[in-house]
Amino acid sequence: MDPFTLLAIAKASFEAVKAGVAVGKEIQGVAKDLGSLFDSVAHITRLAAEPPHASLLSGKTAEQVAMEAYAAKAEAEQMMAELKNHFVGEYGIAAWDNILSETTKIKKAQKAAALQAEKAQEQALENMASILLVILAAALILATIAFALYLLLHR
């Protein structure tokens, strides 16, 4: 997705969280929107760090793409700072710190699970290749024995 689409998603989530906090919703009531906001901001930050190459079809230069990504990142960071102020004012700094801590733990666990799944898939492919090699070797040995018996019997 482009930075402005992600920014629009982030803004919608930001407004939903801000409205929820303003009416005194519990943290659980704004969790979905808060998660969506965090995801959008993280994606915008990644895009700004490594902007995609400008394609010929978009009609934008590399500089325009980079500036759009930077502008979206700056606005997303401003939203996060404002949200933090609202959130801390309503729930306290400990709740904000706890959310950030849990977010970090979950991201690390997801990354570890993805790496483990990738390793398991690689291991399964290696096992299948080994089994196929053994089957081919056995078939070659059996074919050689069958050919040798054929030659012995048909002299």
Work out the angle at residue 101's Cα, subtended by the Cα atoms of residues 99 and 102, and round it to the nearest 5 degrees. 65
Long-range contacts of 88-94 (CB under 8 A, 24+ apart): 90/21, 90/24, 91/21, 91/27
Question: How many Å apart are CA 146 and CA 148, to the nearest integer?
Answer: 5
* pLDDT on residue 58: 64
Nearest Cα to Cα of residue 69 among 86, 41, 47 = 47
Domain parsing of the chain, residue ranges: 3-91
Q: What is the pLDDT of residues 135-149, one digit of tens each?
A: 999 999 999 999 999
Per-residue pLDDT, 55: 58
pLDDT level of residue 93 (50, 70, 90 thresholds):
very high
Residue 98, classed as helix, strand or coil, is: helix
Average pLDDT score over residue span 96-110: 87
Q: Round the average pLDDT of the chain to a whole number and report it.
A: 85
pLDDT higher than threshold 70 for residue 85: yes
Q: How far is CA 153 from CA 28, 41, 147, in A?
A: 82, 78, 10
Q: What is the pLDDT of residue 23?
A: 76
29 or 78, higher pLDDT: 78
Tell me: the pLDDT tens digits for 124-136? Answer: 999 999 999 999 9
Is 2's pLDDT higher than 80? no
